[in-house]
A and B are shown apart, each in its own frame.
Chain A
């Protein structure tokens, strides 16, 4: 059994924490004396909060909550370079149609940039300000990762988005030889990972959280809570701005002042939830917290029962693992991008097989078929006794979940056609052997197409785009005139990446002899915006041998004739 109160009682003074906790920060805060301390009310008939043995907390097992607050998480989530920058940096987000500062680094803060400022105000103060957009998703992932990490200090970790973690550490104190050392380990560990953290300890989770929004402090027992919480500005509660404004409007700006209001009148005006929150913070109501169970990660192993090289048997084993994975992914609403099979050999060692996908997904049928192809070609040095399937970090299934099958067997768009083909080809030929071509809406022939990952842009808007060769049909329509279809431009199937300069004889371009113009000129003047401004007259020309070429005369110095393409 743990005896929390005595232990923490002994810890805190030893820690050097002064008895008046607020003095250390040099802020003048009156320590509430008894005269001001006798609140009328926020409790009706109940005993005042300062009662050393409040009704609820007497009955329950004592808890010790540690709150880790990460004030810089919005910046830290954006990567090291952003967090380490010496210049003024701020993270901004859109709020009600305006871009406002969410977080400012030290340099920016020194220039007067504060959270909540509009971007234009911030820029007026620090024109050199570097602004980064807030990425809530990354913050969530980072917080989860840290929750995962914090699991080493307590089995009960509860993330408080966007920037705090609550740990119930009563049971861990002995293991970590006291609160003092535990706090140090936490802060130090986070510092090493590049995070600025602030640690607070209190007997209730809300108290720890609220205290953490003010400054580092430790409160060792319910009886002490009022002394620490009462002077806090009500903003630490994170209550809606409207409620805070309303309370400010009647001159109530601290938790202590708030608790002096009549309970019933307070609840009626500002909501019963507020009253409950206060009661929870002060340990008058239980405050159960969800446990964070760590990011779902899949790792399963099955024994085959016998050593085998039988492909069918292996496939069946893998298939069972995949079925388990599918179930897992559905339960946790996650998606996998990378699967790693390991085929264990009896004598030791394992043969790995990794499948990677362009998109995180959960389409087991597709994986199964890919695996089949790969299994065929897998070289196994020895028979296999067991198979393991592990996923890499699983991804959230938000965003375009519509593209993913939510129910096993229901086909998503991803399965069909080209992507399937590409993944199959890649499974056989290797990642880099398969390329895609994309035509662009461009007047300049050389810029009119480019090479892409064949799967890129397949999702969503059906972005396969026009193929280079239906461009011919695109052009006149896009020029915005009329509706007929009788005028078409000719384009060759082969385009030279590097136009080839043509010899000129008596003023006429030559290619296996002088060329005969068939069509033209088609004048193309475009592309000034990217530094490759083009001004050329294109012609279709014929060689003496009857081959048709696409050639142009450059209208810019050094003028000259060039071969651009060859008609098939």
Chain B
């Protein structure tokens, strides 16, 4: 009979570069081996416990939360939490250790433990210190009656003397012995990976890691019979005794939102009702419609039922503060699209504008916390974050962590190094990881890297890489997931330093919080909000008109015409190639069309083959039918095609009989199935449920495929609805305020798909006048100037000038404002106190044209500016004037690109047009006339190269010539065969066939040629997306 056993000392891969198994793997294995309990004791961390807890709950294994510590001035020990209080003490200790050291490290001393772990048990890890030194007494004194000496036997040849020594130590200190495994992996088979991790940690090849490696693979979860051979029975029995003293589960963690938001005399509910009422009066000064009033009442009741008031109040507080600072923001997410949130100002999407049904977002039965993400202007998000820290304090607010895991490339790099490959080889292999399909790498790529794909080294490498992928590497901060708590946060989860100065993160990530049902607020940054706010400001500054998100005239047909023509460069969300290709087919005519548009052009729906059915139904080519009335209710608004995540969940409920809670688990499984697998049980239940309700096998199959296609990319309607508003507003601005819109986009760079050059070209094509950078007219950023006819022109700002420091630009503007226009380069240098680098940058940008003439002259002048010296400060130096030729147009254009990244002169292609014309190349403008299927030649600057994951190896290339953009489709075979031209061309010539689909014109590339030579050193940068 195998002895009972509880493992009390095991580290997972959350003890970075030491543990060689996932927490779930440890739990599963411990359960399979029939362990009574398993403690996860990562080093000064509980980052992995939620995962282990989740797995243990499913398996019915007793799970113990603990951590391992190595004290700077004392012994190593394991601390186990016996209760909620003990858990809080443990978290506090971890927090202290982590906050004491820089990111990723911890530092604890004996003194740090002394004030309290009264509700924890402890195992002393004496290591080789069997003499006991002074630690034993300290240890025994600190944990009276609740501490043990861990006897860890690893068959290293010293087990017997060690055990003898430990027994002596136990007698001397009076502490009991308990067996423990010092577990680093769930199976012996991870030995190679564990060695590799050690090598990576020490930054040496495995072959040189020497005695830093464990001598054998014993540090795994060993079978109970084997443990029985190794340990005296009493020591094994003691593990059970220890485990039995522990009565704590992470499920006990409950969460309370800060109470301070509720003024005296109010309850959270009454205060929320009060604020909602106030907001309603603001939104509808003449009184809200009956429908809205009812909706609000209904929602408030629901919120009260679930006791979510503090959550709404917290979000409201943050949003209200941001608004008071003029920071544009908008909420999205499951709870955001409620009428209550509209009244509270959390979102601007008028519930009247779409058929909001709050149960779509919050439900009583679903055991799901409400989710509100708030987007803020990306440049001002930091202010919001600092506000939260200030308001709630670091004891109550921290960012969620993001676990950075090994990806194929990083895994290849690290394992390669550990196996002693040269950095050159590893780099080349890492490159080859682009072709990683999860189990093997294209052998051709391996050969290209100079290695034999069948060699033992490669086999070892690939095996280890496969195991390592997905391993956590370190904790980083989540972009904006805030946890705010009523009690001290560090009693809920440890807090540690983030890489960024002044930031702290908790040790759990979003999924962990969700798993435990804890609430968080996502404070995110969105570049488009910055641009829109800037645009509103510019319009107000120019002619005093006030605009805001809700106030932009709704449902303007001109805007929808523009969108339907795919004239959307710079517009939020719908400016990508894929979106632009779809717009003329979808022809959105109303707000809800935009909601669909945003959600449908995504990898999920594309892979799930939802786009084409929807298009056919929308155009009337295909009849819309529903297998039942229930299904119609769910899918009516999207013509019978499930497009949103919520619809899938609703379908699961109405068609397959899921409970709302199950549907929510399905949603989470959907998000993660690619990473973790596990749609299996849902598949059966779903199909069986549908069959039972009389739906056809075909329908069930189709729905399931669509769910799978959603994968991680499925987009919730609640997010789409909020985004669609920004789509509409930015499109409206582009349509009606093109100058201000361009100016705002330029000042909010980098953002979006297009570089300033394309944005400027596009605006110019739309008749916007763009004026050059000029030391006597420009400011730090681009600005609007009034043209003679009273309309706006854009003056480029100094921020476009490469190599000009912001401080120099500021001092220039200040000098001009105080002392008037500059008269000469010397005058500029002296008054604005500019150094040669700044002057050179201005000369290169052509910004000195009004002072010195053409660029060559300007640069000569700048080169001759002397540093002002005392008395001779303003002494003019007379010297011979050089005869400098005026730069040729091509040189000017090239210099424009080099310094500004764009030109206001003629497009480089215009200069080369004659040359291309002679070789029968046509322009973008002439493409439509060429006709479908025609063989043509086109050429242009490469603007973007994009290889979307969903497009099975197709590369999309966008070229730009003087008349517009040309969309290329490069099939995989063409790309492989003509890789050089594809990758290196900045000016690309293409021979291919025209493909016309509605208003969308592509050129299917057959032959690519590179004409970089024609550009000289024209610095044209392509934006490459993968």
Q: Is the CB of A265 within 8 A of B158?
A: no
B128 contacts A by Cβ under 8 Å: yes
Q: Is the CB of B855 within 8 A of A486?
A: no
Q: Which of B509-541 contact A (CB under 8 A)?
A: none
Q: How far is the CB of B830 from chain A (nearest CB, A)?
A: 18
Contact B130 A486 (CB under 8 A): yes
A249 lies within 8 A of chain B by Cβ: yes
Contacts of B133 in A (CB 8 A): 484
* A residues near B298, Cβ cutoff 8 Å: none
Interface string of B211-248 (1 = CB under 8 A from A): 11111111000000000000000000000000000000
Binds B, one of A137-145, A277-285, A336-344, A471-479: A471-479
Q: Please name all residues of chain B whose beta carbon is closer than 8 Å to the beta carbon of A538 when the two chains form the complex.
A: 157
Contact call B984/A441, Cβ cutoff below 8 A: no
Interface with A: B286-294, B338-346, B544-552, B883-891, which one?
B883-891
One digit per residue, 1 when the CB lies within 8 angstroms of any chain A CB and 0 when it does not, for chain B 132-162 equals 0100000000000000000000111110111
A-side contacts of B863, CB under 8 Å: 246, 250, 269-270
A315 interfacial by beta-carbon distance below 8 Å: no
A482-B127, A519-B157 known; A474+B211 contact, CB < 8 A = yes
A528-568, CB < 8 A from B: 528-531, 535, 537-538
Verify A251–B213 contact, CB threshold 8 A: no
Within 8 A of B (CB), among A96-133: 99, 111-112, 119-121, 123-125, 127-128, 130-131
Minimal beta-carbon separation of A403 from chain B (angstroms): 24
- Given contacts A529-B460, A530-B207, whether A251 and B879 have CB atoms under 8 Å apart is no
Q: Indicate if the CB atoms of B210 and A478 lie closer than 8 Å.
A: yes
Q: 4 other contacts beyond A121-B984, A519-B160, with CB at 8 A cut-off?
A: A120-B431, A441-B211, A519-B157, A522-B215
Residues B161 and A487 in contact, CB atoms below 8 Å apart: yes
Supposing A124-B984, A265-B882 touch, asked if A487 and B130 sit within 8 A by C-beta, the answer is yes
Do A475 and B211 form a contact, CB below 8 Å, given A121-B984, A264-B879? yes
Contact A251 B856, CB 8 Å, known A112-B980, A482-B128: yes
Does B843 interact with chain A (Cβ within 8 Å)?
yes
Judge whether A260 is part of the interface by a CB distance below 8 angstroms: yes
Could you list 17 A-B pairs, sorted by A, with CB under 8 Å?
Answer: A40-B883, A112-B980, A123-B431, A130-B450, A246-B859, A250-B863, A262-B879, A264-B879, A475-B211, A475-B215, A482-B129, A483-B127, A485-B128, A523-B215, A526-B216, A529-B195, A529-B420
CA distance A391 to B856 in the complex (A): 60
User: With the chains together, A112 CA to B207 CA distance in Å?
Assistant: 39
Q: Answer whether A489 and B191 are a contact pair too, CB < 8 Å, given A249-B859, A482-B128, A484-B128.
A: no
Determine whether A268 belongs to the interface, using a CB cutoff of 8 Å to chain B: yes
A525 at the binding interface (Cβ < 8 Å): yes
B460 touches A250 (CB 8 A): no
Least CB separation from A521: chain B residue: B155
Q: Which residue of chain B lies nearest to A40 when distances are taken between CB atoms in the complex?
A: B883
Flag if B218 contacts A523 (CB, 8 Å).
yes
Chain A residue contacts of B578, Cβ below 8 A: none
Residues of B in contact with A (beta carbons under 8 Å apart)? 126-131, 133, 154-158, 160-162, 165, 188, 191-192, 195, 206-218, 419-420, 424, 427-428, 431, 445, 448, 450, 456, 460, 840, 843-844, 855-857, 859-860, 863-864, 879-885, 887, 891, 979-980, 983-984
Chain B proximity of A557: nearest CB distance (Å): 16
**Consensus secondary structure, chain B interface:** helix
CB pair B215–A443 under 8 Å, yes or no, is yes
Closest 10 CB pairs of A and B: A441-B210, A522-B157, A478-B211, A482-B127, A482-B128, A481-B127, A262-B880, A525-B216, A523-B155, A127-B448
B856 / chain A contacts, CB cutoff of 8 Å: 249-251
Q: Does A372 contact B (CB under 8 A)?
A: no
Known: A250-B884, A524-B215, A525-B215. A486 touches B195 (CB 8 A): no
Chain A residues engaging chain B, CB cutoff 8 angstroms? 40-41, 99, 111-112, 119-121, 123-125, 127-128, 130-131, 246, 249-252, 260-262, 264-265, 268-270, 440-443, 474-487, 489, 519-526, 528-531, 535, 537-538
Q: Given the complex, which residues of A lie within 8 Å of B431, measured CB to CB? A: 120, 123
Taking CB atoms, residues of chain B closer than 8 Å to A484 are 127-131, 133
Q: Which of A260, A485, A531 contacts B883 (CB 8 A)?
A: A260
Specify which chain A residues have a CB less than 8 angstroms from the CB of B195 in the assembled complex. Answer: 526, 528-529
Residue of B nearest to A123 (CB): B428
Bound-state Cα–Cα, A269 to B857, Å: 13
Check B980–A261 contact: CB distance below 8 A.
no
Residue in B191, B855, B879 whose CB lies within 8 Å of A528: B191
Residue ID in chain A nearest B444 by CB atoms: A127
CA distance in complex: A124, B864 (Å): 43
- With a 10 A CB-CB cut-off, give which of B215, B427, B844, B855 has the most chain A CB atoms: B215
Q: Are A476 and B456 in contact (CB under 8 A)?
A: no
B984 contact from A112, A127, A130, A485, Cβ within 8 A: A112
How distant is A145 from chain B, measured CB to nearest CB, in Å?
Answer: 29
Q: Which one of B162, B456, B859 has the highest number of Cβ atoms from chain A below 10 Å of its Cβ?
A: B859
Q: Bound complex: CA of A524 vs CA of B218, how far in Å?
A: 10
Chain B: minimal CB distance from A2 (Å):
41
Evaluate whether A487 and B165 lie within 8 angstroms (CB atoms) in the complex, with A249-B855, A269-B863 already known.
yes
Closest Cβ–Cβ distance, residue B852 to chain A (whole Å): 11
With a cutoff of 8 Å between Cβ atoms, the chain B residues found around residue A124 in the complex are 979-980, 983-984
**Chain B residue at minimal CB-CB distance from A39:** B883
* Candidates B126, B162, B212; contact of A478 at CB < 8 Å: B212
Q: Which residues of B contact A112 (CB under 8 A)?
A: 980, 984
Determine if B428 and A261 form an interchain contact, defined as CB atoms under 8 angstroms apart: no
* Residue from B209, B456, B880, B983 in contact with A264 in the complex, judged by beta carbons closer than 8 Å: B880
- Chain A residues near B130: list those with CB within 8 A: 484, 486-487
**A486, B165: Cβ atoms under 8 Å?**
yes
A519–chain B nearest beta-carbon distance, Å = 7
Shortest beta-carbon distance, B757 to chain A, in Å? 21
Tell me whether A128 and B882 are in contact in the complex, defined as CB-CB below 8 angstroms, given that A269-B860, A522-B157 are known contacts: no
CB of A525 within 8 A of CB of B131, answer no
B103: shortest Cβ distance to chain A, in Å? 23
Chain A residues near B216: list those with CB within 8 A: 443, 523-526, 535
Interface pair B157/A481, CB less than 8 Å apart = no
Partner of A476, one of B128, B424, B887: B128
Among B427, B880, B884, B891, which residue has the most Cβ atoms of chain A within 10 A?
Answer: B880
- C-alpha spacing A53/B385, complex, angstroms: 77
- Cβ-closest chain B residue relative to A488: B158
The minimal Cβ–Cβ distance linking A248 to chain B, given in whole angstroms, is 9
Across the two chains, which residue of chain B brings its CB closest to A489? B157
Q: Name B199's closest neighbour in chain A (CB-CB).
A: A529
Q: Specify which of A483, A489, A523, A529 lies most central, judged by the most chain B CB atoms within 10 Å of its CB.
A: A529
How far is the CB of A14 from the nearest CB of chain B, in Å? Answer: 38
B158 touches A526 (CB 8 A): no
Residues in A with CB closer than 8 Å to B207 are 529-530
Chain B residue nearest to A131 in the complex (CB): B424
Asked if residues B859 and A250 are in contact (CB atoms below 8 Å), the reply is yes
CA distance A526 to B217 in the complex (A): 8
B403 to chain A, nearest CB (A): 26
Judging by beta carbons under 8 Å apart, are B880 and A520 in contact? no
C-alpha spacing A521/B226, complex, angstroms: 14
With A111-B980, A124-B984, A264-B879 known as contacts, the answer to whether A443 contacts B891 (CB < 8 A) is no
Cβ-defined contact, A265 with B864, below 8 A: yes
A268 to B128 CA separation, bound complex (whole angstroms): 73
Let me know if A486 and B979 touch, CB within 8 A.
no
CB distance from B414 to the nearest CB of A (A): 14
Which chain A positions have C-beta within 8 A of B161? 487
Contacts of A524 in B (CB 8 A): 215-216
Which of chain A's residues have a CB closer than 8 A to the CB of B154?
A: 523
CB closest residue in chain A, given B214? A479
In contact, B448 and A482 (Cβ under 8 angstroms): no
Q: What are the residues of chain A within 8 A of B448 when measuring CB–CB? A: 127-128
Measured in the bound complex, the distance between the Cα atoms of B133 and A338 in whole Å is 58
Q: How far is the CA of A482 from the CA of B214 in the complex (A)?
A: 15
Q: Smallest CB–CB gap between B394 and chain A, Å?
A: 34
How far does the alpha carbon of A530 sit from the alpha carbon of B840 in the complex, in Å? Answer: 58
